[in-house]
């Protein structure tokens, strides 16, 4: 058995299949870990969702910002972007089942010295604390309060974590850190205006994984989200978004031996 963590797919189903063929992936024995952003902007989000749902226990999926965007759009709480490609999902006969499955995926997955989350973790969070905070969001998504939660999820505030935060502010801060963050200050204040490569860090901020003394270094944190960063392996962090959607590559990381596997974007070539 092997476990493969795969970077942002974003509807690039054909590239996913090419990568799985290269891996010799066997769904009867192997397990796929997805860093999130299964959907949107690529051409086959519906096929990607169906594939991962059918894997059942053969998949470990954490939610990315585009996955949450789909849930917000489906609930009527988010205005459609001009470049989103979600209509086939919304029109599918199994849309309700797929959306329900998506809403019940994790925000953070922890196992065997690894912690997988879409974007990152705030420097003051230990792994156990972060996992407990993720569970608060997961509980809301899996409850009859989901609609109200999604209705007020968008926004950049509060930008700093405090254990005293309550209600929607608390949940939004957790979600933003785990699904949207790239840069933060040494005290963990998140900055959302700047994207691009790490060299674009605004004054006083840095990539979240470069903050000195971050408390979650007890585990290797596996992420995606940051295509301008590309494949990155640093101190207790592996980032796997290599821009497949933009004509780059789709990347897998085998947990057992840290080996990297990649395929060129099939969608771009088409």
pLDDT digit string (tens) for 231-245?
A: 999 999 999 999 999
Q: What is the pTM of this model?
A: 0.97
Half-sphere exposure of 63 (CA within 13 A, CB side): 26
DSSP conformation letters of 149-168:
HHHT--S----S--TT--HH
Phi, psi of 33 (to 5 degrees): -105, 125
Average pLDDT, the chain: 97
Count of the separate structural domains present in the chain:
1
The boundaries of the domain holding residue 137 are: 3-269
Tell me the CATH number at 165: 3.60.21.10
Q: Would the CA dihedral through 141, 159, 130, 200 be positive or negative?
A: positive
Name which of 84, 89, 2 is nearest 48 in CA terms. 89
Residue matched to tokens 């999130």: 36
Q: Which two tokens stand for residue 92?
A: 């599918």
The pLDDT tens digits of the residues spanning 165-220 come to: 999 999 999 999 999 999 999 999 999 999 899 999 999 999 999 999 999 999 99
Over 90: is that where the pLDDT of 269 sits? Answer: no
Rg (CA), the chain: 17
Q: Is the peptide bond before 158 cis (omega within 30 degrees of 0)?
A: yes
**CA 258, CA 252: separation in Å to the nearest integer?**
10
The model's pLDDT over 66-125, given as tens digits with 9 standing for 90+, comes to: 999 999 999 998 878 888 999 999 999 999 999 999 999 999 999 999 999 999 999 999
Distance CA 137, CA 47 (A): 26
Could you give the CA distance from residue 179 to residue 129 in angstroms, rounded to a whole number? 17
């Amino acid at each position: 058995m092997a476990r493969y963590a795969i970077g942002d797919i974003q509807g690039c189903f054909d590239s996913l299949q090419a990568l799985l063929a290269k891996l010799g992936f066997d769904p009867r024995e192997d397990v796929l870990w997805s860093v999130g952003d299964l959907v949107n902007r690529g051409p086959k989000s519906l096929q990607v969702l169906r594939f991962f749902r059918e894997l059942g226990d053969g998949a470990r999926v954490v939610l990315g910002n585009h996955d949450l965007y789909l849930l917000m759009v489906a609930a009527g709480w988010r205005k459609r972007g001009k470049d989103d490609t979600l209509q086939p999902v919304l029109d599918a006969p199994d849309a309700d089942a797929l959306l329900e499955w998506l809403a019940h995926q994790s925000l953070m997955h922890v196992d065997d010295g690894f912690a997988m989350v879409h974007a990152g973790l705030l420097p003051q969070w230990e792994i156990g604390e972060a996992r407990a905070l993720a569970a608060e969001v997961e509980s809301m998504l899996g409850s009859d309060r989901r609609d109200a939660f999604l209705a007020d999820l968008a926004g950049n505030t509060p930008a700093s974590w405090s254990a005293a935060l309550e209600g929607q502010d608390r949940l939004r801060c957790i979600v933003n850190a785990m699904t949207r963050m790239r840069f933060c200050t040494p005290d963990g204040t998140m900055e959302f205006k700047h994207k691009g490569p790490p060299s674009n860090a605004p004054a006083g901020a840095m990539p979240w994984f470069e903050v000195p003394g971050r408390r979650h270094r007890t585990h290797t944190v596996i992420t995606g989200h940051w295509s301008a960063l590309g494949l990155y392996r640093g101190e207790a962090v592996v980032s796997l978004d290599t821009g497949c959607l933009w004509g780059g590559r789709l990347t897998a990381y085998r947990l057992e031996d840290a080996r990297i596997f990649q395929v060129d974007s099939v969608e771009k070539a088409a």
